[in-house]
A = this chain, B = another copy of it.
Amino acid sequence: MSAPQSGFKAEYACSEGCDFRASLLDVVYRCPRCEGLLEVRHDVAALRSVPAAEWKRRFESRFGSSRLPDGSGVWGKREWAFPQLPVEDIVSLGEGRVPLKPLPRMASELGLSALELKECGVSPTGSFKDWGMTVLVSAVKHMRAKGVPLRAVACASTGDTSAALSAYCAAAGIPAVVFLPRDKVSLAQLVQPIANGARVLSLDTDFDGCMRLVQAVTADTGLYLANSMNSLRIEGQKMVAVELCQDLGWEPPDWVVIPGGNLGNASALGKGFELMLELGLITRRPRIAVAQAQRANPLARAFRGGFQELQPMQAESTLASAIQIGNPVSFRRAVRILKAFDGVVEEATESELANAAARADREGTFTCPQTGVALAALEKLVAQGVIAKGSRVAVVSTAHGLKFADFKVGYHRGTLADVTSRHANPPVQLPANLDAVRAALSDLG
Protein backbone atom coordinates (compact mmCIF):
# COMPACT_ATOMS: atom_id res chain seq x y z
CA MET A 1 0.00 0.00 0.00
CA SER A 2 2.70 2.48 0.98
CA ALA A 3 5.22 3.45 -1.65
CA PRO A 4 8.65 2.20 -0.62
CA GLN A 5 10.71 4.79 1.17
CA SER A 6 13.53 4.24 -1.28
CA GLY A 7 11.36 5.70 -4.01
CA PHE A 8 12.29 9.16 -2.73
CA LYS A 9 15.54 10.98 -2.40
CA ALA A 10 17.02 14.21 -1.16
CA GLU A 11 20.40 15.86 -1.57
CA TYR A 12 22.32 18.91 -0.48
CA ALA A 13 22.01 22.02 -2.62
CA CYS A 14 23.52 25.45 -2.15
CA SER A 15 20.85 27.67 -0.60
CA GLU A 16 22.31 30.74 -2.34
CA GLY A 17 21.39 29.52 -5.78
CA CYS A 18 24.68 28.27 -7.23
CA ASP A 19 24.52 24.79 -8.72
CA PHE A 20 26.53 22.91 -6.10
CA ARG A 21 25.02 19.54 -5.15
CA ALA A 22 26.22 16.84 -2.75
CA SER A 23 25.05 13.62 -1.16
CA LEU A 24 23.57 13.81 2.32
CA LEU A 25 26.29 11.36 3.31
CA ASP A 26 29.05 13.83 2.40
CA VAL A 27 30.74 15.62 5.26
CA VAL A 28 30.06 19.15 4.04
CA TYR A 29 28.51 22.10 5.87
CA ARG A 30 28.76 25.04 3.48
CA CYS A 31 28.85 25.42 -0.29
CA PRO A 32 32.52 25.03 -1.26
CA ARG A 33 32.00 27.43 -4.17
CA CYS A 34 30.21 30.40 -2.62
CA GLU A 35 30.37 29.70 1.13
CA GLY A 36 26.56 29.81 1.29
CA LEU A 37 24.63 27.57 3.65
CA LEU A 38 23.46 24.30 2.26
CA GLU A 39 19.91 23.10 2.26
CA VAL A 40 18.42 19.65 1.90
CA ARG A 41 16.49 19.59 -1.38
CA HIS A 42 13.82 16.93 -1.83
CA ASP A 43 12.67 15.43 -5.10
CA VAL A 44 9.33 17.19 -4.97
CA ALA A 45 8.19 15.74 -8.27
CA ALA A 46 8.59 12.24 -6.86
CA LEU A 47 6.87 13.19 -3.60
CA ARG A 48 3.97 14.59 -5.68
CA SER A 49 3.35 11.11 -7.07
CA VAL A 50 1.68 10.38 -3.73
CA PRO A 51 -1.62 12.24 -3.39
CA ALA A 52 -2.02 14.67 -0.51
CA ALA A 53 -4.78 12.56 1.00
CA GLU A 54 -2.47 9.55 1.04
CA TRP A 55 0.28 11.52 2.80
CA LYS A 56 -2.20 12.59 5.44
CA ARG A 57 -3.48 9.06 5.87
CA ARG A 58 0.03 7.66 6.12
CA PHE A 59 1.19 10.28 8.63
CA GLU A 60 -1.92 9.92 10.77
CA SER A 61 -1.68 6.16 10.77
CA ARG A 62 1.94 6.18 11.97
CA PHE A 63 1.15 8.88 14.54
CA GLY A 64 -0.86 6.34 16.51
CA SER A 65 1.94 3.80 16.62
CA SER A 66 3.42 2.94 19.99
CA ARG A 67 6.59 1.77 18.30
CA LEU A 68 9.53 3.81 17.15
CA PRO A 69 10.34 5.07 14.58
CA ASP A 70 6.71 5.29 13.37
CA GLY A 71 5.58 6.86 16.65
CA SER A 72 8.19 9.65 16.40
CA GLY A 73 6.86 13.03 15.31
CA VAL A 74 9.79 13.26 12.90
CA TRP A 75 10.23 9.70 11.59
CA GLY A 76 6.52 9.05 11.19
CA LYS A 77 7.03 11.52 8.30
CA ARG A 78 10.41 10.14 7.26
CA GLU A 79 9.98 10.41 3.48
CA TRP A 80 10.02 14.18 4.01
CA ALA A 81 13.05 14.18 6.35
CA PHE A 82 15.85 11.94 5.06
CA PRO A 83 14.15 9.53 2.67
CA GLN A 84 17.16 7.38 1.84
CA LEU A 85 18.01 6.65 5.46
CA PRO A 86 17.50 2.96 6.29
CA VAL A 87 15.07 2.52 9.18
CA GLU A 88 17.68 0.55 11.16
CA ASP A 89 19.93 3.62 11.30
CA ILE A 90 17.27 5.86 12.85
CA VAL A 91 18.19 7.11 16.32
CA SER A 92 14.96 8.20 17.99
CA LEU A 93 14.12 9.05 21.58
CA GLY A 94 10.42 9.52 20.82
CA GLU A 95 10.72 13.20 19.84
CA GLY A 96 7.77 15.20 18.57
CA ARG A 97 4.08 14.32 18.96
CA VAL A 98 3.85 17.08 21.57
CA PRO A 99 0.70 18.69 23.00
CA LEU A 100 -1.00 21.70 21.42
CA LYS A 101 -2.05 23.59 24.55
CA PRO A 102 -4.91 26.07 24.22
CA LEU A 103 -4.70 29.37 26.12
CA PRO A 104 -8.39 30.29 25.99
CA ARG A 105 -8.32 33.08 28.57
CA MET A 106 -5.41 34.89 26.95
CA ALA A 107 -7.07 34.42 23.55
CA SER A 108 -10.26 35.96 24.85
CA GLU A 109 -8.45 38.89 26.48
CA LEU A 110 -6.56 39.59 23.24
CA GLY A 111 -9.67 39.17 21.09
CA LEU A 112 -8.26 36.20 19.18
CA SER A 113 -10.49 33.38 18.07
CA ALA A 114 -7.82 30.83 19.02
CA LEU A 115 -4.42 30.89 20.71
CA GLU A 116 -2.49 27.66 21.14
CA LEU A 117 1.02 26.75 22.25
CA LYS A 118 2.84 23.98 20.39
CA GLU A 119 4.66 22.56 23.43
CA CYS A 120 7.97 21.50 21.89
CA GLY A 121 9.58 21.41 25.34
CA VAL A 122 7.51 18.38 26.41
CA SER A 123 10.25 16.29 24.88
CA PRO A 124 12.99 13.85 25.95
CA THR A 125 15.70 16.49 26.49
CA GLY A 126 13.24 19.32 27.22
CA SER A 127 13.59 21.44 24.09
CA PHE A 128 12.64 21.61 20.41
CA LYS A 129 16.25 20.75 19.49
CA ASP A 130 15.30 17.07 19.71
CA TRP A 131 13.34 17.37 16.46
CA GLY A 132 16.44 18.29 14.48
CA MET A 133 19.09 16.38 16.36
CA THR A 134 17.42 13.03 15.71
CA VAL A 135 18.02 13.59 11.98
CA LEU A 136 21.63 14.67 12.36
CA VAL A 137 22.64 11.82 14.69
CA SER A 138 20.78 9.27 12.56
CA ALA A 139 22.69 10.53 9.52
CA VAL A 140 25.97 10.14 11.39
CA LYS A 141 25.04 6.60 12.43
CA HIS A 142 24.31 5.81 8.79
CA MET A 143 27.55 7.42 7.56
CA ARG A 144 29.55 5.38 10.06
CA ALA A 145 27.74 2.23 8.94
CA LYS A 146 28.71 3.11 5.36
CA GLY A 147 32.37 3.45 6.36
CA VAL A 148 32.68 7.23 6.55
CA PRO A 149 35.43 7.69 9.17
CA LEU A 150 33.58 9.80 11.76
CA ARG A 151 34.89 9.27 15.26
CA ALA A 152 32.52 11.60 17.09
CA VAL A 153 30.06 14.48 16.76
CA ALA A 154 30.97 17.90 18.15
CA CYS A 155 29.31 21.21 18.90
CA ALA A 156 30.02 24.48 20.69
CA SER A 157 26.89 25.22 22.68
CA THR A 158 25.97 26.13 26.22
CA GLY A 159 22.43 24.93 26.19
CA ASP A 160 19.76 22.97 24.43
CA THR A 161 21.88 21.95 21.43
CA SER A 162 24.56 20.25 23.52
CA ALA A 163 21.88 18.54 25.64
CA ALA A 164 20.13 17.13 22.57
CA LEU A 165 23.38 16.16 20.83
CA SER A 166 24.62 14.31 23.90
CA ALA A 167 21.39 12.42 24.50
CA TYR A 168 21.02 11.20 20.92
CA CYS A 169 24.70 10.27 20.68
CA ALA A 170 24.43 8.39 23.98
CA ALA A 171 21.47 6.44 22.67
CA ALA A 172 23.38 5.62 19.47
CA GLY A 173 26.67 4.78 21.18
CA ILE A 174 28.44 7.54 19.23
CA PRO A 175 30.91 9.77 21.13
CA ALA A 176 29.80 13.39 21.55
CA VAL A 177 32.13 16.34 22.23
CA VAL A 178 30.98 19.69 23.62
CA PHE A 179 33.26 22.76 23.46
CA LEU A 180 32.75 25.42 26.13
CA PRO A 181 34.42 28.57 27.43
CA ARG A 182 35.84 27.96 30.93
CA ASP A 183 34.12 29.89 33.73
CA LYS A 184 31.39 31.21 31.45
CA VAL A 185 28.99 28.32 31.93
CA SER A 186 27.69 26.77 35.14
CA LEU A 187 27.72 23.03 35.74
CA ALA A 188 23.92 23.17 35.97
CA GLN A 189 23.78 24.37 32.35
CA LEU A 190 26.01 21.47 31.38
CA VAL A 191 24.56 18.73 33.46
CA GLN A 192 22.62 17.08 30.65
CA PRO A 193 25.69 16.57 28.38
CA ILE A 194 27.75 15.47 31.37
CA ALA A 195 25.12 12.97 32.51
CA ASN A 196 24.75 11.67 28.96
CA GLY A 197 28.48 10.95 28.84
CA ALA A 198 29.65 13.61 26.39
CA ARG A 199 33.31 14.63 26.42
CA VAL A 200 32.93 18.19 27.72
CA LEU A 201 35.94 20.40 26.98
CA SER A 202 36.25 23.50 29.12
CA LEU A 203 38.56 25.85 27.25
CA ASP A 204 40.57 28.92 28.23
CA THR A 205 38.81 31.18 25.72
CA ASP A 206 35.47 32.82 25.00
CA PHE A 207 32.55 31.47 22.98
CA ASP A 208 33.96 32.69 19.64
CA GLY A 209 37.23 30.95 20.47
CA CYS A 210 35.31 27.73 21.08
CA MET A 211 33.58 28.12 17.71
CA ARG A 212 36.94 28.59 15.95
CA LEU A 213 38.39 25.53 17.68
CA VAL A 214 35.42 23.29 16.98
CA GLN A 215 35.48 24.29 13.32
CA ALA A 216 39.22 23.67 13.10
CA VAL A 217 38.96 20.28 14.79
CA THR A 218 35.99 19.12 12.78
CA ALA A 219 37.77 20.13 9.57
CA ASP A 220 40.49 17.54 9.94
CA THR A 221 40.02 14.91 12.62
CA GLY A 222 36.96 12.90 11.74
CA LEU A 223 34.62 14.83 13.99
CA TYR A 224 31.25 15.75 12.55
CA LEU A 225 29.98 19.28 13.23
CA ALA A 226 26.54 19.59 14.81
CA ASN A 227 26.27 23.37 14.99
CA SER A 228 23.38 25.31 13.66
CA MET A 229 24.80 25.81 10.18
CA ASN A 230 24.22 22.08 9.71
CA SER A 231 21.26 21.73 7.38
CA LEU A 232 20.19 18.22 8.36
CA ARG A 233 18.68 19.52 11.58
CA ILE A 234 16.30 21.76 9.63
CA GLU A 235 14.75 18.62 8.13
CA GLY A 236 13.58 17.47 11.55
CA GLN A 237 12.69 20.90 12.88
CA LYS A 238 10.42 21.62 9.95
CA MET A 239 8.12 18.83 11.19
CA VAL A 240 6.92 21.24 13.90
CA ALA A 241 5.00 23.01 11.12
CA VAL A 242 3.68 19.73 9.73
CA GLU A 243 2.57 18.39 13.10
CA LEU A 244 0.93 21.71 13.92
CA CYS A 245 -1.16 21.54 10.74
CA GLN A 246 -1.98 17.89 11.44
CA ASP A 247 -3.14 18.89 14.94
CA LEU A 248 -5.44 21.45 13.35
CA GLY A 249 -6.98 19.05 10.83
CA TRP A 250 -4.61 20.25 8.07
CA GLU A 251 -5.90 23.79 8.35
CA PRO A 252 -3.00 26.13 9.15
CA PRO A 253 -3.52 28.93 11.67
CA ASP A 254 -3.63 32.52 10.46
CA TRP A 255 -0.39 33.36 12.24
CA VAL A 256 2.50 31.40 13.72
CA VAL A 257 4.71 33.22 16.21
CA ILE A 258 8.17 31.80 16.89
CA PRO A 259 11.18 33.06 18.88
CA GLY A 260 14.29 33.71 16.79
CA GLY A 261 18.00 33.65 17.65
CA ASN A 262 20.19 31.92 15.09
CA LEU A 263 17.01 31.75 12.97
CA GLY A 264 17.31 28.10 11.95
CA ASN A 265 14.03 27.37 13.68
CA ALA A 266 12.12 30.11 11.86
CA SER A 267 13.62 28.92 8.58
CA ALA A 268 12.62 25.34 9.33
CA LEU A 269 9.06 26.38 10.09
CA GLY A 270 8.76 28.04 6.70
CA LYS A 271 10.33 25.06 4.97
CA GLY A 272 7.70 22.79 6.49
CA PHE A 273 4.84 24.99 5.31
CA GLU A 274 6.40 25.29 1.82
CA LEU A 275 6.55 21.53 1.40
CA MET A 276 2.95 21.06 2.56
CA LEU A 277 1.87 23.74 0.07
CA GLU A 278 3.84 22.17 -2.78
CA LEU A 279 2.34 18.74 -2.07
CA GLY A 280 -1.19 20.01 -1.55
CA LEU A 281 -1.63 19.10 2.12
CA ILE A 282 -2.51 22.71 2.84
CA THR A 283 -3.70 25.36 0.43
CA ARG A 284 -3.21 28.55 2.39
CA ARG A 285 -0.09 30.27 3.76
CA PRO A 286 -0.09 31.27 7.39
CA ARG A 287 1.73 34.48 8.20
CA ILE A 288 4.87 34.14 10.32
CA ALA A 289 6.02 36.45 13.10
CA VAL A 290 9.56 36.06 14.39
CA ALA A 291 10.07 37.35 17.91
CA GLN A 292 13.42 38.58 19.23
CA ALA A 293 14.66 39.84 22.56
CA GLN A 294 15.22 43.59 22.29
CA ARG A 295 18.75 42.97 23.54
CA ALA A 296 19.55 40.60 20.69
CA ASN A 297 17.50 41.95 17.80
CA PRO A 298 19.51 42.00 14.55
CA LEU A 299 16.59 40.59 12.55
CA ALA A 300 14.16 43.14 14.00
CA ARG A 301 16.57 45.94 13.06
CA ALA A 302 16.94 44.60 9.54
CA PHE A 303 13.15 44.24 9.22
CA ARG A 304 12.60 47.88 10.20
CA GLY A 305 15.08 48.82 7.48
CA GLY A 306 13.16 46.82 4.87
CA PHE A 307 15.41 43.78 5.20
CA GLN A 308 18.70 45.36 4.27
CA GLU A 309 21.76 43.25 4.82
CA LEU A 310 22.38 41.96 8.31
CA GLN A 311 24.27 44.30 10.64
CA PRO A 312 25.84 41.93 13.15
CA MET A 313 25.59 43.31 16.67
CA GLN A 314 26.94 42.49 20.09
CA ALA A 315 23.98 40.83 21.77
CA GLU A 316 23.43 42.03 25.31
CA SER A 317 22.65 39.77 28.22
CA THR A 318 18.96 38.74 28.18
CA LEU A 319 16.80 36.36 30.19
CA ALA A 320 16.06 34.72 26.85
CA SER A 321 19.61 33.34 26.83
CA ALA A 322 18.95 30.73 24.16
CA ILE A 323 18.34 33.46 21.57
CA GLN A 324 21.05 35.86 22.76
CA ILE A 325 22.71 35.93 19.33
CA GLY A 326 23.94 39.00 17.49
CA ASN A 327 25.07 37.43 14.22
CA PRO A 328 22.54 34.78 13.26
CA VAL A 329 23.80 32.01 10.99
CA SER A 330 20.47 31.59 9.20
CA PHE A 331 19.72 35.27 8.61
CA ARG A 332 19.41 35.02 4.85
CA ARG A 333 17.21 31.97 4.79
CA ALA A 334 14.98 33.48 7.50
CA VAL A 335 14.54 36.65 5.44
CA ARG A 336 13.54 34.56 2.43
CA ILE A 337 10.96 32.74 4.55
CA LEU A 338 9.61 35.97 6.03
CA LYS A 339 9.19 37.45 2.56
CA ALA A 340 7.44 34.31 1.33
CA PHE A 341 5.04 34.23 4.29
CA ASP A 342 4.26 37.95 4.50
CA GLY A 343 6.09 37.87 7.78
CA VAL A 344 6.91 40.41 10.43
CA VAL A 345 9.48 40.73 13.20
CA GLU A 346 8.72 42.07 16.67
CA GLU A 347 10.87 42.40 19.77
CA ALA A 348 10.32 42.24 23.53
CA THR A 349 11.99 43.90 26.48
CA GLU A 350 13.04 41.91 29.52
CA SER A 351 9.96 43.01 31.42
CA GLU A 352 7.65 42.25 28.51
CA LEU A 353 8.99 38.75 27.95
CA ALA A 354 8.93 37.83 31.65
CA ASN A 355 5.38 39.07 32.14
CA ALA A 356 4.08 37.38 29.00
CA ALA A 357 5.60 34.07 30.13
CA ALA A 358 4.00 34.44 33.57
CA ARG A 359 0.64 35.32 32.02
CA ALA A 360 0.62 32.11 29.98
CA ASP A 361 1.69 30.03 33.00
CA ARG A 362 -1.54 31.07 34.71
CA GLU A 363 -3.33 28.81 32.23
CA GLY A 364 -1.38 25.70 33.21
CA THR A 365 1.74 25.72 31.05
CA PHE A 366 5.33 26.39 32.21
CA THR A 367 6.98 28.53 29.58
CA CYS A 368 10.64 29.22 28.94
CA PRO A 369 11.82 32.85 28.52
CA GLN A 370 12.20 32.42 24.75
CA THR A 371 8.53 31.48 24.53
CA GLY A 372 7.89 34.56 26.69
CA VAL A 373 9.49 36.63 23.91
CA ALA A 374 7.09 35.10 21.40
CA LEU A 375 4.06 35.70 23.61
CA ALA A 376 5.09 39.30 24.32
CA ALA A 377 5.57 39.93 20.60
CA LEU A 378 2.10 38.51 20.02
CA GLU A 379 0.60 40.91 22.57
CA LYS A 380 2.30 43.85 20.85
CA LEU A 381 1.35 42.78 17.33
CA VAL A 382 -2.29 42.47 18.40
CA ALA A 383 -2.16 45.89 20.06
CA GLN A 384 -0.73 47.37 16.86
CA GLY A 385 -3.41 45.73 14.74
CA VAL A 386 -0.83 43.79 12.74
CA ILE A 387 -2.38 40.57 13.99
CA ALA A 388 -6.09 41.25 13.53
CA LYS A 389 -8.72 40.55 16.16
CA GLY A 390 -10.38 37.21 15.52
CA SER A 391 -7.19 35.63 14.17
CA ARG A 392 -6.27 32.04 14.95
CA VAL A 393 -2.72 32.06 16.30
CA ALA A 394 -0.23 29.32 17.17
CA VAL A 395 2.91 30.03 19.19
CA VAL A 396 5.90 27.69 19.08
CA SER A 397 6.96 26.99 22.67
CA THR A 398 10.61 26.01 22.38
CA ALA A 399 11.70 24.58 25.75
CA HIS A 400 10.31 23.34 29.05
CA GLY A 401 10.30 25.93 31.83
CA LEU A 402 11.95 23.32 34.08
CA LYS A 403 15.19 24.29 32.29
CA PHE A 404 14.74 27.86 33.53
CA ALA A 405 13.69 27.41 37.17
CA ASP A 406 15.89 30.35 38.28
CA PHE A 407 14.05 32.63 35.86
CA LYS A 408 10.72 31.57 37.34
CA VAL A 409 11.89 31.92 40.94
CA GLY A 410 13.40 35.35 40.26
CA TYR A 411 10.22 36.51 38.57
CA HIS A 412 7.93 35.52 41.43
CA ARG A 413 10.38 36.86 44.02
CA GLY A 414 10.52 40.12 42.07
CA THR A 415 14.32 40.05 41.85
CA LEU A 416 14.90 40.00 38.09
CA ALA A 417 16.80 43.03 36.83
CA ASP A 418 14.74 45.34 34.60
CA VAL A 419 11.56 43.35 35.21
CA THR A 420 8.42 44.55 36.96
CA SER A 421 6.67 41.33 37.96
CA ARG A 422 3.01 42.08 37.28
CA HIS A 423 1.87 38.50 37.85
CA ALA A 424 4.02 37.64 40.88
CA ASN A 425 2.36 35.07 43.11
CA PRO A 426 4.43 34.77 46.30
CA PRO A 427 3.54 32.28 49.06
CA VAL A 428 1.22 33.50 51.82
CA GLN A 429 2.82 33.27 55.31
CA LEU A 430 0.35 32.09 57.96
CA PRO A 431 0.25 30.80 61.53
CA ALA A 432 -0.75 27.13 61.78
CA ASN A 433 -4.35 27.54 62.83
CA LEU A 434 -7.59 26.76 61.12
CA ASP A 435 -9.16 30.19 61.47
CA ALA A 436 -6.19 31.86 59.83
CA VAL A 437 -6.30 29.36 56.97
CA ARG A 438 -10.04 29.76 56.50
CA ALA A 439 -9.67 33.52 56.44
CA ALA A 440 -6.90 33.29 53.85
CA LEU A 441 -9.15 31.25 51.57
CA SER A 442 -12.41 33.12 52.11
CA ASP A 443 -12.25 34.88 48.74
CA LEU A 444 -11.88 31.70 46.67
CA GLY A 445 -14.48 30.15 44.42
CB pair A119 B126 closer than 8 Å: no
Binding site for B on A (CB under 8 A): 60-68, 93-94, 97-101, 105, 119, 122-126, 150-152, 166-173, 175, 177, 179-180, 182, 187-188, 190-192, 194-205, 209, 213, 216-217, 221-223, 243, 246-249, 358, 361-366, 400-403, 405-406, 408-409, 411-413, 425-432, 434, 437-438, 440-441, 444-445
A426 — which chain B residues lie within 8 A by C-beta? 194, 200
Docked Cα-Cα span, A188 to B408, in Å, equals: 8
**With A194-B425, A400-B402, A403-B402 in contact, is A151–B445 under 8 Å at CB?**
yes
Most B C-beta atoms less than 10 A away, residue of A172, A362, A441: A441
Give the oligomeric copy count. 2
CB distance from A62 to the nearest CB of B (A): 8
Give Cα distance in the complex from A408 to B50, angstroms.
Answer: 48
Q: Which residue of B lies closest to A200 (CB)?
A: B427
For A98, A99, A195, the residue with the greatest tally of chain B CB atoms inside 10 Å of its CB is A195
Q: State whether A441 touches B152 (Cβ < 8 A).
A: yes
- Smallest distance from the beta carbon of A357 to chain B beta carbons, Å? 9
**Structural contact, B122 and A401, CB atoms closer than 8 A:** no
- Cross-chain contact of A437 among B62, B213, B243 (Cβ < 8 A): B213
- Choose one: B66, B68, B191; the contact of A412 (CB below 8 Å): B191
Taken together as a complex, chains A and B put the C-alpha atoms of A401 and B124 apart, in Å, by 10
- A213 and B119 in contact, given A364-B168, A427-B180 (Cβ under 8 angstroms): no
- Who on chain B is nearest to A95 by CB? B99
Residues of B within 8 A of A413 (CB): 187
